[in-house]
Amino acid sequence: MKIVVKKVVSIFPEIFEAAEEIKKRKIHGATGVTIIALKALANAIINSKVRSLSELYDEVLNSGKILVKARPTTMLLANGIRFALYKIKEAEEERMKMEEAKKKVYEEILQFRERIKTSIEKIAEITSRRIRDGDIIFTHGFSTTVFKVIERAAKDKNIEVIVTETRPEFQGRIMANKLNQINVPATLIVDSAARFFMKDVDKVILGAEAIAANGAVINKIGSSLIALAAHEARVRVFVTAGTYKFSQETMLGELIEIEERDPTLVAPKEFIKEFQNLSIRNPAFDVTPPEYIDLIITENGVIPPQGVIYMLKEIYGWPTFEIKLLE
């Protein structure tokens, strides 16, 4: 398979297959999406037939663009691909031989995937300490990290969970099912009932697709309304997210793209055809402003939303925008 993007480079079929799998949303949560994408990218690198590291860089860049386009809001995915590209540049600067470099980058990507899993375990450990016995937790959608937090807390505390269905794709039903499998009492509610039940809640715990430098959180559509209801009810809102979900670009004013999905997820094709003058919008994510968030809990510790910019600068320095995956 060949595509043309600036240069003619090979793209392995498994990159397109991973992108299609991501688009079809057979995998839920930023972590699951990124794990699948990085596995495809690592295999493409180790099997690449290019003869120079500059060609490998182009190949991975173009593969990365295909994967990121499949889920443009997922910062963990974008940062994982950037990581692979930086490692290829490092190998080129060190004048490594081609096969040695490919093996090194392949192993680095696998290690990156393991660090993602380790960071989730660490976040679960830190967050569970802030959950008290008898707490009622409110969450929205499905997040691997939030699930791990609840699973960890439930080992030594009696807790209950209220989870929204999370329309239009019902990711909350997946969360409810997984909570049922680990015997955590859960109540499934429609999204619009969030404010009604908020008076019974002790803590809201959300995941994130991306976190901006100003502490704003991009998460499943409806998250901002839940955070607003919690703010009104004086219920604390915790966001659990690894630092790999922090957006470097937003340090200098770039915006995170909000993905919009097929309107037929909201209404059937027959309905849309019948009402041809009716416009249907289906944004997958929304932005929760930092003033509605009490804490952001990362693998490096707990920070207020206003602390994101300092953690970003400490980890990455100032961004240079040398790698653009969305144009």
Q: In the chain, what are the domain boundaries? A: 2-119, 123-316
CB atoms within 10 A of CB 273: 8
- Both structure tokens of 23: 């688009």
Q: Which residues pair with 323 in a beta bridge?
A: none
10-residue mean pLDDT profile of the chain (327 residues): values are 45 89 83 93 93 94 94 94 94 94 95 95 98 98 97 97 97 97 98 98 98 97 98 98 93 89 94 91 97 97 95 77 57
- Both structure tokens of 105: 């980058």
Supply the pLDDT for residue 2.
Answer: 42
SS3 category, 318: coil
SS3 category, 89: helix
CA 219, CA 286: separation in Å to the nearest integer? 6
The pLDDT tens digits of the residues spanning 259-286 come to 999 999 999 999 999 998 999 999 999 9
Supply the pLDDT for residue 27.
Answer: 76
2-119 folds as: Four Helix Bundle (Hemerythrin (Met), subunit A) (1.20.120)
The pLDDT tens digits of the residues spanning 288-326 come to 999 999 999 999 999 999 999 999 988 877 655 555 665
Supply the pLDDT for residue 324.
Answer: 62
Supply the pLDDT for residue 3.
Answer: 39
CA 62, CA 287: separation in Å to the nearest integer? 29
CA 220, CA 10: separation in Å to the nearest integer? 34
Is-contact 224 230, C-beta < 8 A?
Answer: no
Supply the pLDDT for residue 315.
Answer: 83
Instruction: Out of 3.30.930.10, 1.10.260.40, 3.40.50.300, 3.40.50.10470, select the CATH number for domain 123-316.
Output: 3.40.50.10470
- Both structure tokens of 115: 């660090």
SS3 category, 237: strand
Supply the pLDDT for residue 10.
Answer: 61
Q: To 10 degrees, what angle do helices 53-70 and 75-93 make?
A: 180
Among 62, 15, 20, smallest CA distance to 40 is for 15
| Beta-carbon contacts of residue 270 (< 8 Å; ≥ 6 apart) | none
CA dist 269 → 25, 26, 168 (Å): 20, 21, 15
Question: At residue 16, what are phi and psi to the nearest 5 degrees?
Answer: -65, -40
Q: To 10 degrees, what angle do helices 171-181 and 144-153 make?
A: 30
* DSSP class per residue in 288-302: E-GGG--EEEETTEE
CA 290, CA 212: separation in Å to the nearest integer? 10
CB atoms within 10 A of CB 114: 10
